Amino acid sequence: MEPAWLPLPQSATSAQFKLRLHLSRAAIFLCLFSTGYMIGYLSSVPQFNLQNQFHPNCTAITVAISDTNPLPIKEHESQTGPPPHDLLQFKTHCSKPIPKSEILNTLIANMFEGIEPYEGFPSAEVESLIHKPADHPRGWGSTGAVFRDLIDSVRPGVIIELGSFLGASALHMADVTRNLSLSSTLILSVDDFRGWPNFRFRFRRDVPQNRHADALLLQQFMANVKAAGESQRIIPVPFSTGSALIALCEWGIYGDLIEVDAGHDFHSAWADINRAYAILRPGGVLFGHDYFTVADNRGVRRAVTLFAKVKGLTVRPHGQHWVLSPKPRE
């Protein structure tokens, strides 16, 4: 055996040199190939051009809070940034307003196929399924001072309420308008009359038992209205607030006073407020309930605050309600 310190034979040294040369060339080739691949890949990816992105102009957005009962703005409200563009895309121009004398016939023709909703109501079957009409149906904040104050101030010919349940607020507004010599005021009650999940566990005594998955809230609402003698003025609009407001906009039906009291999460309230404002007559007032509710991280209040900022309006608390400044006249 040769000692380990002896040099390798010439043939081994030559083979090793050739191997190193081939490995070096392979490494260089791989580096060049990888570099070229990365350059080609990066050049093929679309670049995000910030200059071409739309940013709503919200620099001039302001909100004025009434000096009466001022409320602190929460941290998450004061730091709200400019809303995304899609959040502001609502139809703002509706059909030409139709005369008030045509509103009732327009509603009956489009919603009830020309059949007056209270005609022959209730049938014997329906009467056996619902509760006896209540003099004071279950409601929340349905008789607050805000109703009389606004009705007396606005003197509305048409009132639209979003969220009716059993008719407590509608019947109260009917009483107020009658006492203020506004007995011809028309009240449109928009509600899908389905309630919400598990609502019967809380209000079992106030609502009828469901029948074949029908909540029967519409029938109970109509019974309460008819028993009060207001079936000629309080008209149910039994659809979701979104579809109903879009339809009223298309039909040219506007309100002088509109109350928003349907969904209490931010997105529902935001959509209702925007769509309702589109059918609010110039000089009319938009208001709503649950300004202080904590649902959805104060979703109603966040929606109202943001809308006031976008439109440059004043929002004023009134008891449990919020009231926006009158819609500017064009």
Neighbours of 106 (CB within 10 A): 15
Report which DSSP code applies to 319: T
Which of 17-26, 150-159, 233-242 is the least confident region? 17-26
pLDDT averaged over the chain? 81
What mean pLDDT comes out for the span 160-180? 94
Residue that the structure tokens 């001072």 belong to: 145
The pair phi, psi for residue 264, each rounded to 5°, is: -110, 5
Three-class SS state of 73: coil
- Reply yes or no on whether the pLDDT at 263 is more than 50: yes
Q: Which amino acid is at 43?
A: S
Rg of the chain, C-alpha, whole Å: 33
Residue 81 and residue 184: Cα distance in Å, rounded? 45
What mean pLDDT comes out for the span 95-119? 97
Is the sign of the CA dihedral 203, 262, 289, 95 positive or negative? Answer: negative
pTM of the full predicted structure?
A: 0.73
Residue 242's contacts (CB-CB under 8 Å, 6 or more residues apart) are 271, 272, 275
What mean pLDDT comes out for the span 293-304? 88
- Reply yes or no on whether the pLDDT at 40 is more than 80: no
Kindly indicate the confidence band of residue 202, based on its pLDDT and cuts at 50, 70 and 90: low
Which of 40-49, 91-100, 198-207, 261-270 is the least confident region? 40-49
CA-nearest of 276, 217, 268 to 246 is 276
What pLDDT sits at residue 166?
87
Q: Which amino acid is at 292?
A: F
Residue that the structure tokens 């919200």 belong to: 58
Q: Which amino acid is at 51?
A: Q
For the domain made up of 64-324, give the CATH fold: Rossmann fold (3.40.50)
Report which DSSP code applies to 235: E
Q: In the chain, where are the structural domains located?
A: 11-44, 64-324
The CB-side HSE value for 86 (13 A sphere, CA atoms) comes to: 2
What mean pLDDT comes out for the span 232-242? 97
